[in-house]
Amino acid sequence: MAKILVVDDEEGIVEVFVEFLAQEGFEVISASGGGEAIGLLKAGVAMDLMILDMKMPRITGLDVLKVKKDLQDIRPVIILTGSMGQEKIYKDLEGLGFRWEDVIYKPVDLLLLLNEVKKKLGMNRHL
């Protein structure tokens, strides 16, 4: 089964996502912030998909995406944000090759998240 990295500085969100995705049969690893996520990317840790929060202290999701691009890492990403209507975020994301469709707003509907995970991983079964 696919391996998913969940990156968020909010411990409760990480716990919910890890438990939910594991129950759905995915192998899940987590990072408690951008710095840890960058370390995993640079170390070449095996993963098939990243779920990444944009707003984190010190090292943001955007910082992680820039490093990911520099590493020429092509694995898909689902971007989480609690901020709607921030045009700068979308311009920055577009500059890195992401689209509006790559973004899910908090609070996250777990079934929507699952559907997006399956879509990004090319799994045919959608909810």
pLDDT per residue as tens digits for the range 73-126: 999 999 998 876 667 777 888 888 888 888 998 999 999 999 999 999 999 654
Residue 116, domain CATH:
3.40.50.2300
Residues of the domain holding 69: 3-120
In this prediction, residue 86 carries a pLDDT of: 67
In a domain, 40, yes or no: yes
Q: Output 21 or 91, whichever has higher pLDDT.
A: 21
Rounded to two decimals, what is the model's pTM? 0.92
Assigned domain for 47 exists: yes
SS3 assignment for the chain: CCEEEEECCCHHHHHHHHHHHHHCCCEEEEECCHHHHHHHHHHCCCCCEEEEECCCCCCCHHHHHHHHHHCCCCCCEEEEECCCCCHHHHHHHHHCCCCHHHEEECCCCHHHHHHHHHHHCCCCCCC
pLDDT band (50, 70, 90) for residue 127: very low
Tens-digit pLDDT profile for residues 42-74: 999 999 999 999 999 999 999 999 999 999 999
The pLDDT of residue 126 is 46
Q: Residue 97: inside a domain, yes or no?
A: yes
Q: Does residue 55 lie in a domain region? A: yes
Contact 49, 4 (CB under 8 A): yes
- Is residue 38 a part of any domain in this protein? yes
Residue 127 lies in a domain: no
- Residue 37 placed within a domain: yes
115, exposed or middle or buried, with CB in 10 Å at 0-12, 13-18, 19+? middle
31: CB partners within 8 A, 6+ apart: 5, 6, 7, 37, 39, 40
Give pLDDT, residue 95: 87
User: Domain for residue 72, yes or no?
Assistant: yes
Q: Are 111 and 119 in contact (CB under 8 A)?
A: no
Average pLDDT over residues 35-40: 98
Q: Domains in the chain: how many in total?
A: 1
